[in-house]
Amino acid sequence: MLKFLSVFYFFVMQLFSFSRTSSVCGLLLFGLLPYVGNAQDECLDPGGDCTLATPIEFQNTIFVSCGDTVRLNPTQELCNTWTIDNDVNFSYGFGDDSLAVFVIIDQCYQEALYVDGVTNTPSGTGIASCDTRIVYHLVPAVDTIQQGLDCANFAALDSLQANLPSSCGCDSLLVNYFLDDVIDTTYLYAQSCIPSEVGISMDTLTASSGCDSILITSTELNDSPELFLEDVYACVGEMALLQAYALEEGTYMWNTGSNDYSLEVSEPGTYSVTFTDENGCTATQSATVGFTDISVELTPTVAEHLLLSTNPLEVWQGSAIEMEVLVSNTPYPYEIIWDGGPEIGDTTFNYIASSSGSFQVAAIDSIGCAGVAEVEILVRPIGVYVPTAFSPNGDNNNDFFSVYSSPNVEEVRLQIFSRTGGTVFDERLEQTEQLSQGIIWQGWDGTYRGKRLNPQLFAYQLWYRAIQGEWKNISGEVSLVK
């Protein structure tokens, strides 16, 4: 008489095709959908510029049942591009949920779906990039339970089987076996990082007499470890330090062969590291290393009438020189430090040339890289010339006791005294002519209270002030002749 030994459900699960949103059906997870790699067809940039880049991926597994509605969130980037097949029943959200999608689980799919996060930059720059990718795996619960034993002489046994269709199309298979002898069955539970190994497997241990024992293994999916690695910049001539970080214990292996969590490099390029956790699951990240060779250029500007030469730079004493700095070759924010000035951060500085010497400006970026620019300045002292005689006879030749100065003199005051000490002239002089390298200041015409004075010797005192300078004076004698 046949004994009823066991009933088992043979698991038949069709994985989901998924590319426009996610889709799942079933009852209990025993398998993970195929991994979607870094391939991308396009990167959305509303500004019109996009540079395709390898994104940071985050894997998400969602367990669902037939009839569920699943909300899938976007990334935290500025723009999001969903990749979803046309046969997926989904819709976009509204209002605060406008960037999310909602998937109705009404069929089985095999593929995952993903959303690319895009950092948007102003149009024309060409530097937008796909920074972040979220990969969603919609995994159905198992709706077929396997029980019972399968022997080497399976074909000779009596059996009854029936298909149990699911409303989502993920069919179950019920098989009843009627065996003559009792068979030992062992159930094992395991974990794996490889989606293809997830599910239920069965091994038959057959003796010479037939069915001996059966080993049924249920394998669940281990989550991939999270690994973090950032791009690094360093100053030229220094070492750049890359540091990988994982949230759990494990080992690191760089593409250079180093097995430490950190890596010092002296060459620019892309470096990658693979982390393996205690379960044997791995995660890989890449980072770019660049070196900053900060460049500083200094451009001086001087009023033309105060400039004596440009190479070398020579100016009159007291000249105002506008210094303008240009900083380049660093992606980081920087500070500008001017020589001799309180201004920090401005790109221009007004320098007053009081004496010959060098002028410097430095720029230091936020990672400590510095550059310096320098300009040598030659300063010519102020010059004033006073004649010793003049002849105010109306022949248009030396009719005035005029003063001649360098172009950096801003004001002149002239006082004339008679031999008895009386003041015959005291005025601030006006410029009568601006020469290429000097100024003529109109002086005394030899009269006193409208009357022309006789030839004689007069004493004078001349006061003058340079640009941005203090008053100075000289004195002497001048002869009035016919």
CA–chain centroid gap for 393, Å, is: 78
| pLDDT at residue 412 tops 90 | yes
- The per-residue pLDDT for 42 is 43
- The per-residue pLDDT for 98 is 84
| pLDDT at residue 249 tops 50 | yes
pTM to 2 decimal places: 0.45
Is 76 exposed, middle or buried (CB count within 10 Å of its CB: 0-12, 13-18, 19+)? exposed
- Angle (nearest 5°) at CA 328 between 322 and 334: 80
Q: What are the tokens at 87?
A: 């046969």
CA distance 401 to 99: 86
Q: What are the tokens at 139?
A: 């995994």
CA distance 370 to 357: 22
CA distances from 314 to 319, 348, 410 (A): 10, 20, 19
Segment 279-289 shows an average pLDDT of: 91
Q: E-strand spans in 43-183?
A: 56-64, 69-72, 79-83, 90-92, 101-104, 113-119, 129-140, 158-164, 172-179
| pLDDT at residue 8 tops 70 | no
- The per-residue pLDDT for 231 is 92
Segment 406-433 shows an average pLDDT of: 91
**CB proximity list for 141: less than 8 A, separation 6 or greater:** 26, 27, 28, 29, 63, 64, 65
Q: What is the 3-state composition of the chain as percent helix, strand, coil, each rounded to the nearest 5?
A: 0, 55, 45
- The per-residue pLDDT for 462 is 95
Tell which wins on pLDDT, 35 or 277: 277
DSSP 436: T
Q: pLDDT band for position 19 (50/70/90)?
A: very low
pLDDT > 90: what percent of the chain?
30
- Angle (nearest 5°) at CA 45 between 44 and 48: 125
Q: pLDDT band for position 29 (50/70/90)?
A: very low
- The per-residue pLDDT for 437 is 78
Task: Specify whether the CB–CB gap between 372 and 358 falls below 8 A.
Answer: no
From 201-205, 248-252, 406-410, the region with the lowest mean pLDDT: 201-205
Q: What are the tokens at 211?
A: 């069915």
CA distances from 354 to 310, 375, 391, 464 (A): 17, 15, 38, 16
Question: Rounded mean pLDDT of the chain?
Answer: 76
| pLDDT at residue 260 tops 70 | yes
pLDDT > 70: what percent of the chain?
73
**CB proximity list for 399: less than 8 A, separation 6 or greater:** 390, 391, 392, 393, 445
Q: For residue 77, which amino acid is it? A: E
CA distance 458 to 447: 12
- The per-residue pLDDT for 288 is 93
Total length of the chain: 482
Tell which wins on pLDDT, 470 or 261: 261
Q: What are the tokens at 51?
A: 């540079």
Q: pLDDT band for position 3 (50/70/90)?
A: very low
Tell which wins on pLDDT, 105 or 206: 105
CA distance 413 to 445: 15
Tell which wins on pLDDT, 194 or 58: 58
CA distance 268 to 270: 7
Highest mean predicted confidence (pLDDT) among 21-30, 129-138, 216-225, 349-358: 349-358
- The per-residue pLDDT for 186 is 76
For 111-165, the pLDDT digits (tens) are 778 787 777 554 555 555 667 888 888 876 655 444 444 444 443 344 445 455 5
Q: Mapped to the 3 state alphabet, what secondary structure does 136-150 carry?
A: EEEEECCCCCCCCCC
* 230: alpha, beta or left? (left if phi > 0; alpha if psi -120 to 50): beta
Tell which wins on pLDDT, 262 or 78: 262
From 191-195, 203-207, 282-286, 391-395, the region with the lowest mean pLDDT: 203-207
3-state secondary structure of 372: strand
Q: pLDDT band for position 26 (50/70/90)?
A: very low
- The per-residue pLDDT for 81 is 84
Task: Specify whether the CB–CB gap between 105 and 24 falls below 8 A.
Answer: yes
CA–chain centroid gap for 453, Å, is: 81
| pLDDT at residue 416 tops 90 | yes
**CB proximity list for 6: less than 8 A, separation 6 or greater:** 147, 148, 149, 177, 185
Task: Specify whether the CB–CB gap between 99 and 48 falls below 8 A.
Answer: no
- The per-residue pLDDT for 54 is 67
Q: pLDDT band for position 377 (50/70/90)?
A: very high
CA nearest to 348, candidates 367, 322, 316, 327: 322
> Which residue is associated with the tokens 């043979």?
10
Is 445 exposed, middle or buried (CB count within 10 Å of its CB: 0-12, 13-18, 19+)? middle
Q: Residue 312: how many CA atoms within 13 Å on its side-chain side?
A: 11
| pLDDT at residue 200 tops 50 | yes
For 166-194, the pLDDT digits (tens) are 556 555 554 444 444 545 677 787 777 77
From 35-49, 57-71, 129-143, 389-403, the region with the lowest mean pLDDT: 35-49
| pLDDT at residue 18 tops 60 | no
- The per-residue pLDDT for 127 is 53
| pLDDT at residue 481 tops 80 | yes
CA nearest to 383, candidates 452, 308, 313: 308
